[in-house]
Amino acid sequence: MGKDIKDEISSLRDAIKKWDREYYVDSSPTVGDVTYDKALLRLQYLENRYPEYKTLDSPTLKFGSDLLNDFKEVEHSYPILSLEKTYDVKELSLWVEKMSLEGSNLGFDMGISAEPKIDGCSIVLYYKDGILEKALTRGDGRFGNNVIENVRTIKNVPLCIGEQVELVLRGEIYITKKDFLEINHTLDDSYINARNLTSGILRRINSREVVNFPLDIFVYDILYSSLELNTNHDAFDKLNQFGFKLNPCCKFFVVKTWEKILLIM
């Protein structure tokens, strides 16, 4: 009996994870809402009745939990620095020349990736043995608040990546302008911009409230990986395989002059 229940839970969990990826990442769902909802309700029922079989990568966690966030301050494994800015083409040109020179000194052409900056809230995702272990805000760069219960509710954040690897990823959590305007219109105290609204949602105490908001995420940097990844392009291909949502406007190329960067901006 116990083995049958455990096997059913595992089967339901795998099916729902597959459907989530098809819907939220690949935009090509293979099952309808009724089939999905029935499977999810069955999984929730079994996990509530047999809590010993519930795991930290269960898709039911994406719908919030009864645990209240305490937002513990946790030290980052790596310094989380703010992104450097430039408004000057000359500075961009000098930076590209510097990167090209460093690449030449190491014996290869320097590859560059470029993508639009999403104005959201910075987040660092920590995976251990392939399972999301913590999700820290940037904080002061050395310490951040663990908002994992709320981040688990974001549909495009994989709770389990299918391989027992360690990853530390940096991303940006955001709300689209369209959703921001619709939500802001319903609030008694409106927000100035989508970034402030995103920050306010992420810091809500009850994750069951957070699940009602359309938070989204793009992952854009790998701070640590136990995998051997030779290039940024290889790394992003792997992240895509794991089910992470990447910025579709991201471009990779070997460049020696800044003009090519401007062409895609």
| Contacting residues for 44 by C-beta, under 8 A, at least 6 apart | 60
Contact of 173 with 120, CB cutoff 8 Å: yes
The secondary structure element, H or E, covering residue 13 is helix 2-20
Cα(222)–Cα(125) distance, integer angstroms: 10
Catalytic annotation on 117?
Answer: yes
Among candidate residues 13, 7, 27, the one with its CA nearest the CA of residue 55: 13
- Terminal Cα distance for the chain, rounded: 59
Helix pair 33-49, 2-20: axis angle to 10 deg? 140
CA-CA distance, 76 to 33, in Å (whole number)? 39
Q: Which of 38, 98, 117, 178 is catalytic?
A: 117
With H, G, I as helix, E, B as strand and everything else as coil, classify residue 188. Answer: coil
Q: What is the CA radius of gyration of the chain?
A: 20
Query: Given the structure tokens 């921001």, which residue do they identify?
Result: 180
Residues in the chain, total: 265
155 with 201: CB under 8 angstroms? Answer: no
* Positions marked catalytic: 117
